[in-house]
Structures are given as structure tokens and as C-alpha cells.
Amino acid sequence: MISQGQILPSAELTELTSEGMQTHTTADLFTGKKVVLFAVPGAFTPTCSNAHLPEFVALADKITAKGVDAIYCVSVNDAFVMQAWGKAHNAEHLRMLADGDASFTKALGLDKETAGFGGVRSKRYAMIVDDQTVTGLFVEQDKEFIVSRAEAILAQL
């Protein structure tokens, strides 16, 4: 599993924007920026939709006021689902990134097998990344939602 002080692995994430489908490398997304990245097991799932994403939407201004250039949400879903989920939650100040094949999640070592729920998914986590280097990593234990909450990350900035 990736740890604090390490550089993010090279990977690609997709995003559906008004300009169409975009493919971004981790270098494109994180070079020269301070980013809060949070990951969820699945878009439109209960804790993710009722708490995790909405809290980041609500606190986006406070987070960026702490010197954060961008907030990214990533899930092992496709870009169409991520865009629809972001629209449903008014997440226009966040970037909704898809890791459709879980390659980024697996490269981080933050994948988990959920079998009938959806197969390979991401663990729930948040991280602070400064110019591609992980400066804070907050991974939830199974069935918990404490350390990756927006309030918890805001307190770490």
C-alpha cells in the first residue's frame, strides 16, 4: 500500500466533461498542485452518497481556502456514472474521476475484492497530495467512516 512520503504511481483516470471524455495521467492531475483526493467504494452507494461526497461538496470552499488547488473524487466506476453522480450532488467544485479498470486503485494498493457487491472496488480513503507526493493518507477500516471525512481532512490541512 502506498504510504506518506511516496510519489503517486503513474496511472490514467477518465473524466466526462462538457468537452467530452478526457483521459488524464496522474502527472497531469497532480504535478505542481496541492490536491485532496478521496475515494469511495462506489458511486450512488449509501455512505458515499449520503455522507462522503456531500461533506466534501459542503466544505469545498473551506478546504480550498487552506491552500488546496483541487479536490478529486475517484471511484472504480465509469466516467458516465461519475459525472451523473457529481451532477446529482452539485459537485461542480470537485473533479469526479473514474478508475474504470481499477488500475490506479490497484497501483496504490488500496483495492479490495467485494465479490457480489461489484468485484474489485476501492477502499474508502482520503489523501493529501502535494506535487505528486502523498503528504497525508487516511484509510478507513472496513465498515468505518471516520478518518476520510471532509471535516477530518480539513483539520489536517
The residues assigned a catalytic role are 48
CA angle, corner 152, sides to 146 and 157, nearest 5? Answer: 155
CA dihedral sign of residues 24, 10, 38, 67:
negative
Element (H, E) at 152: helix 150-156
DSSP string, 48-93: IIIIIHHHHHHHHHHHHTTT--EEEEEESS-HHHHHHHHHHTT-TT
